[in-house]
Amino acid sequence: DEFMDINETEEVYEKLDDEPERYLSIPTESSREAYQDMVAFTESLEAENLKEKLWIALNGRGAFRRFKDVLLSHPEKREEWFKFQDERLEKHVMEWLEENEVELV
């Protein structure tokens, strides 16, 4: 079963209460970081037409939705975006682990 039952959840919270210094809160990616990733991806592109469309999409409110909408009409670049995003996320995770002296096992 993928989910914890109520008893397991209570056990986790008890452990957190008993030894809070033993645990770290894993940060979520901020919208600022996600936006910076979209900018970095756009800067990495060679196709000027697509690059221009993405710059326009990134301007103003609703940038995330517009960025994704532009990539929907470019399936190969959309796949590149997913790969780029995964690599950036992995890099951020590895940096966080190192900063917090957590060994990946």
What's the CA gap between 39 and 32, in Å, rounded? 11
How far is residue 72 CA from its own chain's centroid?
19
Spatial contact of 54 and 70, defined as CB atoms under 8 Å apart: yes
What average pLDDT does the structure give for the chain? 92
- Average pLDDT (8-22) is 86
**Residue of higher predicted confidence among 64 and 9:** 64
pLDDT band of residue 1 (cuts 50, 70, 90) is: low
pLDDT the model gives residue 27:
87
Spatial contact of 17 and 23, defined as CB atoms under 8 Å apart: no
pLDDT band of residue 57 (cuts 50, 70, 90) is: very high
What's the CA gap between 66 and 49, in Å, rounded? 15
pLDDT cut 90: percent of the chain above it: 67
